[in-house]
Amino acid sequence: MTQPHHRNRHPKYRKKYKIHNWRSYERSLIKRGDLTLWLSEEVIQSWNSDLSQTLGRPKLYSDLAIETALTLRLLFKLPLRQTEGFLKSIFGLMNVGLNVPDHTTLSRRNSTLKTKIKSIGKPSGRVDLVIDSTGLVIHGEGRWTRDKHGKRKRRGWRKLHLGSSNGFIVANCLK
């Protein structure tokens, strides 16, 4: 008689916990897929850009609109065309009459967008500064080229030092 498959598993991959409250566990799994997105009246009012630009073609969308779309793109790991469709569907579900920037506009404005990092007041008293460093590898040739032609040059490494205070990066140095 053969034993069940789960008994032959390596101890590293065995389940280490038992679920006692299945209803609560199932609700928590369902909540993982919950998406809540809200737009304040200020955002809705400032979504479209003011057309008082003197030089060149006026921008239809404000920097806030482009930054919001690109932030959602990074958050959900979407390509630009899917970001456009995602925003259209979200605005359709919310019954918000806002236009969505197309993928070419997002791509073009991404290169010139200047993000504004908001600071939350000036610290008073003691400031805790955390410094961390990590190694970054510089990729040159692709893996296929290295496998086909052999190793041509050694990989480069750079050291990145970050200084963080109150959740914000306040200093950086790349050596």
| Domain residue ranges in the chain | 41-112, 130-174
Q: What is the pLDDT of residues 31-50, one digit of tens each?
A: 887 777 888 888 888 898 87
Q: What is the pLDDT of residues 133-169, one digit of tens each?
A: 676 666 666 666 667 776 666 556 677 777 777 667 7
* Distance (Å, whole) CA 40 – CA 59: 22
How big is the CA angle at 110 (ends 35 and 42), to the nearest 5 degrees?
A: 55
Q: What is the pLDDT of residues 52-99, one digit of tens each?
A: 767 777 788 988 899 889 988 988 889 999 999 999 999 998 888 899
Specify the pLDDT at position 120.
Answer: 55
Specify the pLDDT at position 64.
Answer: 87
Look at strands 130-138 and 156-165 and give their pairing: antiparallel
Q: What is the pLDDT of residues 109-141, one digit of tens each?
A: 988 887 765 555 566 666 666 666 676 666 666
Specify the pLDDT at position 86.
Answer: 92
pTM confidence score: 0.53
Asked if pLDDT for residue 13 goes beyond 80, the answer is: no
Sequence-distant (≥ 6) Cβ neighbours of residue 74 within 8 angstroms: none
| 44 token code pair | 């809705």
| 112 token code pair | 């010139």
Report the Cα 51 to chain-centroid distance in Å. 30
* Distance (Å, whole) CA 58 – CA 39: 24
